[in-house]
Amino acid sequence: MQTLDTAYRATFLDAYLTCALWASSDTVDTGNGEPEEVNLDELGREKLHPSVTEQAAKDCEAFIDANAADLLAANDLYVSRDGYTGPDLAGHDFWLTRNGHGAGYWDRGLEEVGERLTAACGWRTAFPGVDLYIGDDGMIYAN
């Protein structure tokens, strides 16, 4: 089995968490009776509850291990955008694809590799969608 190094894994996880915050929002009570939608990216990574980062690390490790050959192939197929590397794009795409966003592995020009990575994500797999939300303590949690 092919493996991906520690640097790849760290970059993948970092991009996954960055995308998770960027692509997620929640409604909070502003105290004036009007709920306000907040993009979780505005709160910052320091607001992620440790359980969220721990589960994200486990999910990313498991996804990388289960799909190492396709992720290596994708690394060669990704076209770098704005200085992002293959691991950056793969981590970003893992969040988007598993959560059914309108972008992800299938629309990066990865052909069959992208189709296999897409099939490895989703509600019928070990990697179903994840919703982030703001808890009563102001920390960000996952379902």
Sequence spans of domains, the chain: 6-27+38-142
Q: Is the dihedral of CA 132, 123, 81, 53 positive or negative?
A: positive
The total of other beta-carbon atoms located within 10 Å of residue 137's CB is 8
Q: Residues 96, 106: contact at Cβ < 8 Å?
A: no
Summarised one tens digit per residue, pLDDT across range 87-128 is: 999 999 999 999 999 899 999 889 999 999 999 998 788 999
pTM for this model (two decimals) = 0.93
Would strands 132-134 and 140-142 be described as parallel, antiparallel, or unpaired? antiparallel
Q: Residues 20, 130: contact at Cβ < 8 Å?
A: yes
> If we measure between CA atoms, which residue out of 59, 29, 26, 51 comes closest to residue 142?
51
